[in-house]
């Protein structure tokens, strides 16, 4: 079965994935003369940097997602199909999806990255990831359920329900740990006066010798200080060996009793079946040239977290798997496609590092810009402004801003709801 999209005289560009890179590419191609087809398993774009705030009841899910059809309402040559791509058939210029097959003139793989459990099936079964809005909402439910469940147990048994372990001290792990620590201090005691929150533990496990390992040492040190001030138990140079749903075993033979292991320890590219196996690099990333063209192919490109640019001496292991890299690659590739139609030369991709940042809690953040590093209250304000600016939709920006203001002055997250879908 074929996906029905009327073939026009324009060349067809099929984009798989509407994350930061794919969305940027599709938006910029509006200036070109192509038929653009975006395929995604969801019908909305997700703002991943704020997933942790959904998981900790700070934001409602709808405030950080935005429907693709709303974004592209005024683009006559744009088409969207909600489907999962099953494989690529390069020799036929065709992809197979869950709703049928589709031909292309150019294919762009922007499938992003998913969780990396490093081959540990037990951890994959029992740990809680946070790589989608659905996973974030599920995590919110489970976190709140742990406090409800703890009320039904004696003090000695409560500890496993009140112990939250986060594996991975990158931005996601650090931000999540900081938020949980603030909930413990300001929010949860009001909701659960019967519980002794001195027994609640928040542990952050990191395999490297510092938190925020991708940032500079000064930022890591400052972030660690903030976490310790908030009462987070940070364990560095430590790995999770196993987890059976009740007990974590660490590589130093320590055992932690907990019902909740949140996995933020690694990512791997969503490599598509049918692409040349020789292009699969470490972390399931796809080897592409300086124009983001997939090696050993003629008309397939890859951008964002799933792509690894080969030949950039400044980034021999590929560019960082960050939103900015994906956005910049999407912009550059769109310009190159427009240049092709105009008979102009394509331009190689060159990554411009605009900086990185992480927030650890109220008035606590670290920011690294190309020419300046800083932390504290001003860094926290900068973090908020940058993220607010990046959210799609004026209404969403306003909702997020009002939630932040309300939470700041009232110390009260108002979305502590356990909402589950009933499977029929």
DSSP for 187-242 reads: IHHHH-TTS-GGG-EEEEE-SSSSSSTTS-HHHHHHHHHHHHHTT-EEE-S--EEE
Q: So where are the chain's domains?
A: 12-115+267-341, 121-265
Q: What is the pTM of this model?
A: 0.94
- Between CA 196 and CA 194 the distance in angstroms is 7
Write the DSSP symbol of residue 345: P
User: Do the Cβ atoms of 321 and 309 come closer than 8 Å?
Assistant: no
- Digit-coded pLDDT (tens) for 50-59: 999 999 999 9
pLDDT band at 155 (very low <50, low <70, confident <90, very high): confident
pLDDT band at 423 (very low <50, low <70, confident <90, very high): low
Phi, psi angles (nearest 5°) of residue 374: -155, 170
Q: What percent of the chain has pLDDT over 90?
A: 87
Q: Which CATH class is domain 121-265?
A: alpha beta
For residues 346 and 301, the answer to whether their CB atoms sit within 8 Å is no
| Alpha carbon distance 359, 202 (integer Å) | 17
User: What would the pLDDT profile of 349-394 be if each residue is shown by its tens digit?
Assistant: 999 999 999 999 999 999 999 889 999 999 999 999 999 999 998 8
Q: Pick 12-115+267-341's CATH classification: 3.50.50.60, 3.30.920.30, 3.30.70.260, 3.90.180.10.
A: 3.50.50.60
Yes or no: say if 274 and 255 are a contact pair by the CB < 8 Å rule: no
> Would the CATH topology of 12-115+267-341 be identical to that of 121-265?
yes
Q: What is the per-residue pLDDT across 193-231, written as a single tens digit (0 to 9) for each?
A: 999 999 999 999 999 999 999 999 999 999 999 999 999
Within 8 A by CB and 6+ apart from 103, the residues are 7, 12, 92, 93, 94
Give me 345's structure tokens: 């030369």
């Amino acid at each position: 079965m074929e996906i029905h999209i009327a073939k026009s005289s324009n060349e067809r560009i099929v984009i798989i994935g509407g994350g930061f890179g794919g969305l940027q590419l599709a938006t910029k191609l509006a200036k070109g003369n192509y038929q653009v087809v975006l395929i995604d398993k969801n019908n909305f774009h997700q703002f991943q940097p704020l997933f942790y705030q959904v998981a900790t009841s700070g934001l409602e899910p709808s405030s950080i997602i935005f429907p693709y059809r709303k974004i592209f309402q005024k683009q006559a040559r744009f088409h969207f199909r909600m489907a999962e791509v099953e494989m690529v058939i390069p020799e036929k210029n065709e992809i197979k999806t869950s709703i049928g097959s589709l031909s292309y003139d150019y294919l762009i793989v922007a499938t992003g990255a998913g969780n990396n459990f490093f081959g540990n099936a037990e951890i994959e079964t029992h740990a809680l990831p946070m790589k989608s809005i659905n996973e974030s909402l599920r995590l919110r439910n489970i976190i709140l359920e742990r406090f409800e469940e703890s009320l039904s147990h004696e003090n000695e048994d409560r500890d496993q329900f009140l112990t939250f372990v986060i594996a991975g001290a990158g931005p996601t792990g650090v931000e999540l740990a900081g938020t949980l620590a603030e909930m413990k201090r300001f929010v949860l005691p009001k909701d659960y006066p019967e519980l002794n929150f001195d027994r609640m533990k928040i542990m952050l496990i990191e395999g490297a010798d510092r938190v925020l390992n991708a940032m500079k040492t000064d930022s890591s040190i400052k972030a660690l200080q903030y976490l310790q001030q908030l009462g987070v138990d940070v364990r560095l140079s430590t790995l999770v060996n196993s987890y059976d749903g009740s007990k974590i075993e660490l590589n130093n033979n320590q055992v932690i009793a907990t019902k909740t292991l949140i996995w933020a320890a690694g990512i791997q590219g969503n490599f598509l079946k049918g692409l040349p196996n020789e292009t699969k690099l470490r972390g399931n990333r796809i080897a592409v040239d300086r124009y983001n063209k997939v090696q050993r192919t003629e008309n397939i490109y890859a951008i964002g977290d799933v792509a690894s640019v080969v030949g950039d001496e400044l980034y021999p292991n590929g560019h960082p798997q960050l939103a900015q890299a994906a956005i910049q690659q999407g912009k550059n590739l769109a310009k190159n496609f427009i240049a092709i139609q105009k008979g102009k030369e394509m331009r190689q991709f060159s990554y411009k590092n605009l900086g990185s940042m992480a927030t650890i809690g109220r008035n606590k953040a670290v920011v690294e810009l190309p020419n300046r590093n800083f932390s504290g209250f001003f860094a926290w304000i900068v973090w908020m402004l940058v993220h607010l600016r990046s959210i799609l939709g004026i209404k969403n920006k306003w909702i997020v801003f009002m939630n932040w203001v309300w939470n700041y002055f009232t110390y009260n997250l108002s979305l502590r709801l356990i909402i589950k879908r009933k499977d029929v």
